Structure 1
């Protein structure tokens, strides 16, 4: 049994209907400040939904996403905004670094592999959506298999077995069942410079021999085999559900939906775009720089990218978000055509001391709560005074201002240093059960580091 072809519109996540204000409100729970950037991505997302509501197909086809360029220092939330947006909408999302790509014709990855990676992410999203849509039918089939197995083992009617199952009395019963297993032949290691894989290697006293097998795009699948298992119902349910999903949601259905998901809701975040931009007047190097920008143009503007297995992806409606610090160059140093493909430009501001304090306290799973949860596993309750948290925020701001500015990532380094002794000698603190981290502890942990920064000012 397999699911019939479904329209993406029928199973599209409800999150796609969020208003811009609702999207920004949700992003505020995870990213502090940067309201301009949040508003820009929220409007871009909402415009996708608005486009879908237009009944005139010609007009709808002419509407394309307004791609975004985020400009700002590292660690201020550029990537996090895009990642949270993708999670919120359950859209396929990939983050790539512009520096990994080279101009077509040179050794290295070319930019079309971006769309290949996005299609792979879209398959995962499509599989999740189809399984969720079919969940009620899947549950019925799983119950049938378990009920039949209980009835057969205990010699009772299926109606009686169903009663036991629904009442929860059958969870510890052992049942026997079959699941289908598709084993994949593992590829050997690919030799350098060869279009072949090293296959079976036989290490013997005579030296070693190996078999060369031609490289394939995908692993070769053996014929499905049925495996007999005996487990408690509570454990068996997971195995059976996985087996039923594999039968009801076919790979063909996933691939077909993935194409639509990729084209309609895909989000590509291109980080470090400034690293392939040369300051005006500087000589370009072969293989990257301006050549990579030129290769990005057709994909961002809208074209058809042909992938493996005869899959063609149109990029017209894919949302591209590029970001960079632009320390050594300016956005205006990009080639003019690429600037035109990224019409919405937002500047993210450096984080203030107040922002650092909010980062430590406002998000639901902030860094303070994360560290408390880690030590709670060891039986130690970690408490932070407000003065302590403000001292951490102040230290992060001062170190970023006087040393290299790495944004919110500085908080990770500071907390690791402050909690290093407690984390290492945790056995010593178990008897106390509770440890309070104070502002003095923060100052003592960072004094050597702060002294090095002060001395660095006098080094020529």
Structure 2
């Protein structure tokens, strides 16, 4: 982001969206202003808040695509929500704070993937070691030097076969962690937010049960690589970085804002047929 000028950002967007030069210029300048804001001292940063941008146009001209491509360019969390979902007729709409929560969850997934990619090679090597242990169980420690060297060579041969895919169809038994839900959470109209919050609160408190499964070597390698990667990354650091990224560079795209914009004065019989916002 530091190397991108508004002109370069517009040029990048030109590769995906036809026309809409004013919109491209507006979002490019807004993005550059965010970069300038991040360089301010912390005591001044809170005084300079990013502005909202209203893009008006018919369906299919590229409003959503501009925001989506911009977020992808700078690796910023992006979420699109429909304004009508928060003021639906007949019942109280969704909690507006869920927009930011959804944006934060996307940021956590993004940052976690980045951290996982950094440790992927090491995690894959550790997973290979575990699979080889299953295929070629370690022998007794009381062996001579020649036997140890022979065992080491055999393991390397198994590793080569494993990487070539020669052992993919063989079956192995591995222990898989699964969380046990002590009771069911029933969803109901108006309680969907409570359901999400309960699952989030209980997610880390639920007991983990080890279940032994018989799977193919190829599947075991994927599952064990993911397990080893989760051991190598620091979730506290990931969450902290994700929250900062949401605050500083998150893009929240609110669609269908025109459908909730009222033309009247808010009085009269038509008020009862309008949605209620929480």
Q: Distance in 1 between matches of 2:121 and 2:84?
A: 46
Q: What does residue 179 of structure 2 align with?
A: 183
Could you tell me whether the CA contact under 8 Å between 2:79 and 2:252 is conserved in 1? yes
Q: Give the ranges of 4+ consecutive aligned residues of structure 1 lying more than 6 Å apart after TM superposition.
A: 192-195, 286-289
Which of 166, 172, 175 is the aligned partner of 2:166?
Answer: 172
Which of 57, 68, 88 is the aligned partner of 1:83?
Answer: 68
Which of 124, 146, 162 is the aligned partner of 2:131?
Answer: 146
Q: What does residue 236 of structure 1 align with?
A: 220
Could you tell me whether the CA contact under 8 Å between 1:16 and 1:89 is conserved in 2? no
Q: What does residue 143 of structure 2 align with?
A: none
Q: What does residue 23 of structure 2 align with?
A: 37
SS in 2 for 1:96: strand
Q: What does residue 275 of structure 1 align with?
A: 259
Q: What does residue 248 of structure 2 align with?
A: 264
Q: Does 1:19 align with 2:5?
A: yes
1:29 Cα shift? Answer: 2.4
1:94-243 matched pairs, under 5 angstroms:
94-102=79-87, 107-152=92-137, 157-162=151-156, 164-166=158-160, 171-173=165-167, 174=170, 176=172, 178-185=174-181, 187=184, 189-190=186-187, 217-218=198-199, 221-232=206-217, 234-243=218-227
SS in 1 for 2:208: coil
Could you tell me whether the CA contact under 8 Å between 2:127 and 2:225 is conserved in 1? yes
Mark the runs of 5 or more structure 2 residues left unpaired by the alignment: 140-146
Larger radius of gyration: 1
Q: Distance in 2 between matches of 1:188 and 1:79?
A: 35
Judging changes above 3 Å, is the alpha-carbon distance between structure 1 residues 166 and 60 closer, same or farther for their aligned structure 2 residues? Answer: farther
1:53-452 matched pairs, under 5 angstroms:
53-54=39-40, 56-102=41-87, 107-152=92-137, 157-162=151-156, 164-166=158-160, 171-173=165-167, 174=170, 176=172, 178-185=174-181, 187=184, 189-190=186-187, 217-218=198-199, 221-232=206-217, 234-249=218-233, 251-279=235-263, 283=267, 285=271
Q: How many residues align?
A: 257
Structure of greater relative contact order (alpha carbons < 8 Å, 6+ residues apart): 2
Mark the runs of 5 or more structure 1 residues left unpaired by the alignment: 1-14, 198-213, 296-460
1:117 Cα shift? Answer: 1.9
Q: What does residue 142 of structure 2 align with?
A: none
1:272 Cα shift? Answer: 1.9
Q: Distance in 1 between matches of 2:197 and 2:47?
A: 39
- TM-score (normalised: structure 2): 0.74
Judging changes above 3 Å, is the alpha-carbon distance between structure 1 residues 140 and 47 closer, same or farther for their aligned structure 2 residues? Answer: farther
Could you tell me whether the CA contact under 8 Å between 2:38 and 2:248 is conserved in 1? no
Could you tell me whether the CA contact under 8 Å between 2:13 and 2:66 is conserved in 1? yes
CA displacement, residues 209-263 of structure 1 (integer Å, 9 cap, x when unaligned): xxxxx9971156332314343523x443212112212333355444333322222
SS in 2 for 1:70: coil
Q: What does residue 51 of structure 1 align with?
A: 37
Root-mean-square deviation (CA, aligned residues, Å) is 3.8
Could you tell me whether the CA contact under 8 Å between 2:6 and 2:29 is conserved in 1? yes
Q: Distance in 1 between matches of 2:196 and 2:31?
A: 40
- TM-score (normalised: structure 1): 0.47
Q: Distance in 2 between matches of 1:151 and 1:165?
A: 11
Could you tell me whether the CA contact under 8 Å between 2:116 and 2:230 is conserved in 1? no
CA displacement, residues 248-296 of structure 1 (integer Å, 9 cap, x when unaligned): 335544433332222222110111222232337574836968x96xx8x
Could you tell me whether the CA contact under 8 Å between 1:102 and 1:111 is conserved in 2? no
